[in-house]
Structures are given as structure tokens and as C-alpha cells.
Amino acid sequence: MTYWLWLTTSLTISVVAEYLARLHGLELPMTLATAFYFAVLGPWLRTAVPLMLATAWLDALGTSSLPQVSCVLLLLFPLASFWRRFGDVRSLPMLVFPGAVVGLLAATFRLLSALVSGHSLLGAPFWQAACLLGGSTVLVPVLAFVLEIPARRLAIRRLEKFNLDYSDEYYFHDGDTYD
């Protein structure tokens, strides 16, 4: 229960913060960075519904003709699964690479949305894509570090004790489950 409360609170804060940043003209993929953290942290099938609801909420608040954040989230799940299996999830500097990939996906969908809407790619869409790419490169490691603090205090599963040599049963002890 604690895990789900922590997931819901983190996603709500990231959606509200991203929306407030958008109101001031700054595109930061906070929700996608948070979604990547939770998709790497646990089995993504269990966290898919809350993550999809959060991105759908963010897309509903936006005014684009393409549900950009939801489309990127669907591509984020295979990336998180790949990174969980083959990447280094304990090292914050190593999280810069998947942050750049998440930013590249978000920037591509932002520019694609501008093309579908008939806008020029120069100007605001280009600036937004650059903010998405740079912001995600920085935000994925920073949010992973920030989200580890409450996970440690709540004594729930976190990346710093993540070990690829053991199965999920290794981590679920003494009532520490996703339920």
C-alpha cells in the first residue's frame, strides 16, 4: 500500500509541476522522467495503468493534436525493460544516457505534433524540443536521486539496492510488496 501511495503522490506532483512549467513556456518532461524511474524500478506491467493515467491527464491538460506524452510512454516501457536488464541502474551518471533517449523521443513527438498541426518547426517547437531533450537528460538522474530519498525513508524498493542477479522474490520480504 505504501508503494502505491508513493507512486500516486510522485506522479501527481510531477504532472502538476510539468503543467505549471508549461504555463510559463518551459517544456520539462518531469512526468516521463518519473515514469521511467518507476518503470525501471518494478515490473512495468503493474505500474503501467497509473503511468498511463498520469500521461493521459497531462495530455488532456495540453492543447496539442497528438497525445505526445502518452505516445512516448508506450515507447518508454521497452526502454525501461532493456535498461533494467542491461543498463546500470545504481549509478546516477549512467542514467544520463536513458534520460537523453527519453528526451529524444519526447522531442521527436513534439516536432511531429508541430508538423501535424501545420506549424513551422523553427521557433517555439524547436525551442520546446531542445528543452525536452536537455531537460530529460538532466531530470532522469536528478529525479532518480530525489525519489530514492522517500523510498529509503519509507523502506520500500529502490534502485540503490536493486540487483539483477536475484528475482523479484528477493526484494519482497517482510510485507514489502506492490500490493
CB 103 within 8 Å of CB 137: yes
Q: Could you give the CA distance from residue 16 to residue 30 in angstroms, rounded to a whole number? A: 9
Q: What is the pTM of this model?
A: 0.80
4-18 confidence digits (pLDDT tens):
888 899 999 999 998
Q: Yes or no: say if 31 and 56 are a contact pair by the CB < 8 Å rule.
A: no
Average pLDDT over residues 133-145: 89
Identify which has the larger pLDDT, 90 or 47.
47
Domain regions of the chain by residue span:
2-163
- Between CA 36 and CA 157 the distance in angstroms is 15
CA proximity to 55, closest of 31, 81, 90? 31
State the SS3 of the chain.
CHHHHHHHHHHHHHHHHHHHHHHCCCCCCHHHHHHHHHHHHCCHHHHHHHHHHHHHHHHHHCCCCCCHHHHHHHHHHHHHHHHHHHCCCCCCHHHHHHHHHHHHHHHHHHHHHHHHHCCCCCCHHHHHHHHHHHHHHHHHHHHHHHHHHHHHHHCCCCHHHCCCCCCHHHCCCCCCCCC
Q: How many CB atoms lie within 10 A of CB 107?
A: 25
92 pLDDT above the threshold of 80: no
Per-residue model confidence as pLDDT tens digits over 160-174: 654 444 444 444 444
